[in-house]
Structure 1
Amino acid sequence: MKKLFYMFLTVIITQFSYGQKLVSMEDFEDNKESYVGKQITIWVSYENRWNGCQLRKCCEKFGNDWVLWKDFRWFGETGQVTINIPDKFFDNDGVLLPNVTDGGSLLATVYVYKARNHRTPPRPGSTYSEGGSTSNVISLELVSMKRNK
């Protein structure tokens, strides 16, 4: 009986902690400010067919610089989300990113911050140069990404 209780408790705790880590599009949209300064996990999809670019590659330019952001879809939703991807993720042929060649369901852990939302690679002797929106917005920066099992 005791063993069954502990197994049940373990299942409940596991389900509760996993559910707390994933943030839905609706919750994020309704409570963006409360996530600033925190890491959250979101469930997204990346479709090379509509993006026209393999996830592990920089393939768009903003001005004369390769962009370090990608557009994803909230999984199972129509909403789009832009995630800034630090340049280290593109080093070594993008080994830190999943090898998504056709499309996929991904778990992205992102850091939520308040600043301009698109970045291009740093120029020699400078920090990141920011493009996109000129007003302060809630932005996401990739911490880690893996395929959803």
Structure 2
Amino acid sequence: MHCVRGYGHLLQLFTALAATPDSCPPKVMLHSYGGSVEEIPRFCRLKGLGDRFYFSFSHAINARTPEKLAARIAAVPDDRLLIESDQVTPLVIDGGLREICRVVAGVKGWGMAETAQRMLDNFKAFYAGQLSGHDV
């Protein structure tokens, strides 16, 4: 889900929708998350919906404020963290993923291989049952 400077409103919306969780998407990825650190646990604790939220980060967007990026990554539960390149040019996608993987590894205290594996596992959990006919 793409949200710019509106995470408080988005949190209010999902808080209202929590009364009818079946009307909500099975998973929600907050793309290049730019909300506050304090909002992360609030999303994760939403009754009936909290386990649906994943927080994605990209070097291209989020690394503009390294201190905020590190604090946000640290606040996200390990199993709800995703990375992305946020690039459209194939030549820079791999580099963007490597850079954000390096940042996540540093913040979480993991090696690059462990970080890559965890991101793959989280990707599979996020897309489980969503890509019919495709191995995830």
TM-score (structure 2 length as normaliser)? 0.29
TM-score (structure 1 length as normaliser)? 0.28
Larger radius of gyration: 1
Structure having the larger proportion of residues in helix? 2
Structure having the larger proportion of residues in strand? 1
Which has the bigger relative contact order, CA under 8 A and spacing at least 6?
1
